[in-house]
Structure 1
Amino acid sequence: MKRAMIIGAVLAVAGMTGVGVLYGRDYLDGMRFETAMSEIGKTEEANAGQWPQPQETCFFCHGPHGQSFNSWYPALSGQPQAYVVAQLHAFASGQRDNPYMGPLARALSDEQIKSLAVYFAQQRPARNETHQADKALEMRGLALIQARSCQACHGASLLGKDQAPRLAGQGEAYLASQLAAFKSGRRHDPRGAMNGIAATLSDDDIRSVAGYLAGLAPEELASGTQ
């Protein structure tokens, strides 16, 4: 019953946004969500397990073991445990607004959220996409990151720490969209740090920072080979 209600709510949101070019990504996300719910139901019936099966849900957008290879979807692999917990609670409370992550997060117990966070924190991170290097862009991005001391919160290798996420190797489109959301105020950092930093970035700055971060190889950074 709970699953049917969640699917209905999500499909209603997808229906309101429409299927046109402008809202194509919202519609695609809704279809992915519905497929994920269907597959979870099949798994529950086969295994007599309790719904939800969180890892199966995450797979459809965030990739196997939380390693996304899509520029628009963030990788969860290697994310700090505290960050995953904080973001799932933010989605559940509506502090971080998302029509798909909200219903999913609200269906999770505190214990399930903790288990997911432990699981993803233990996965070896990798770069999201095959990145086309642009040396001039990346040098500008590095200078911007150093000038704003991003490593102070996100770690020396930008692999994340505590409640600050891993940035290294995330998808360029995702990174740019989140910086733009912080800049506009659509996304809020409870500490205010990210909103303040993003407000100082021009659109070209955002592209440069996202390009630099997307080009980093977290698997090499984690092993100290870069």
Structure 2
Amino acid sequence: MKRVFVIGALTAAVALVGAGTVYGPEIYAGYRFMNALDEHDAEYQANGGAWPQLQDSCALCHGAHGQPQNAQFASLAGQSEAYIEEQLRAFAEGRRHSPQMSPLAANLSDEQIKQLAHYFSRQKAGRTESPASDKELEQRGQATVTAKGCTACHGEGLAGGPIAPRIAGQGKLYLIDQLSAFKRGDRKDPTQAMNALASSLSEGEILAAAHYLSTLTPTKQ
């Protein structure tokens, strides 16, 4: 009887070792996946609160943490809190027009606008894209940005200032679209400074400036 028990125990042990060899890697991978989910959830809640967060609704266009992967959308990450709040109010009140943003902003409460502005201002900014290298176009763009004194409003490194947003690292298509809108008068700067500046730019200069700005890695304000 004892011999049968020993043989049975050995058989079970061999089976367990075999199962561990076959399923062990999958079990370990599952554990690592669940652990990663827990870490992500903890980071998510520490950054913006419990799920779901209001800013999640912005991610489709503006990307996770306000850093888009699509060059036609604005990067919100690292913009000044005051600037984001003002733009959301401008969309909501019809002072700035967008088929997508205007109705969305109009449905936000005052507290929600403040919440979004505070959240995105705390996020780390990065480059939206890595445009194809074109040194000649980049140099022309840098010359245009320097000649027009863009740092006077947009700050050192074009990382944003008290009255103007970060434009370093924004997507090329977004920058072209906004500069062209200022030039046409479709988008209006309350001070008229951007409308005056953009109206003095040729389409070639707009293209070059947008290309140059999109190559810049954002720095802290």
Same fold, judged at TM 0.5 (above)? yes
In the alignment, structure 1 segments of 5+ residues that lack a partner are 1-48
Structure 2 match to 1:55: 55
1:134 CA drift (Å): 1.2
Structure 2 match to 1:190: 190
Structure 2 match to 1:130: 130
Structure 1 match to 2:110: 110
Q: What is the aligned residue count?
A: 172
1:53 CA drift (Å): 4.8
How far does the alpha carbon of each residue in 1:17-55 deviate from its partner, in whole angstroms, 9 at most, with x for none?
xxxxxxxxxxxxxxxxxxxxxxxxxxxxxxxx9xx9531
Q: Secondary structure at the match of 1:217?
A: coil
Separation in 2 of the partners of 1:146 and 1:54? 38
Does structure 2 conserve the Cα–Cα contact (< 8 Å) formed by 1:80 and 1:163? no
1:119 CA drift (Å): 0.7
Aligned pairs for 1:61-76 (under 5 A) are 61-76=61-76
**One-letter amino acid matched to 2:56:** E
1:161 CA drift (Å): 1.7
Separation in 1 of the partners of 2:174 and 2:99? 17
**Rg larger for:** 2
2:220 matches 1:222: yes
Separation in 2 of the partners of 1:56 and 1:182? 29
Q: Secondary structure at the match of 2:211?
A: helix
Q: Secondary structure at the match of 2:182?
A: helix
Structure 2 match to 1:142: 142
**One-letter amino acid matched to 1:222:** K
In the alignment, structure 2 segments of 5+ residues that lack a partner are 1-49
1:162 CA drift (Å): 2.0
**One-letter amino acid matched to 2:194:** M
How far does the alpha carbon of each residue in 1:42-84 deviate from its partner, in whole angstroms, 9 at most, with x for none?
xxxxxxx9xx953121011000000011110111001111110
Structure 2 match to 1:28: none
Aligned pairs for 1:72-91 (under 5 A) are 72-91=72-91
Separation in 2 of the partners of 1:103 and 1:53? 19
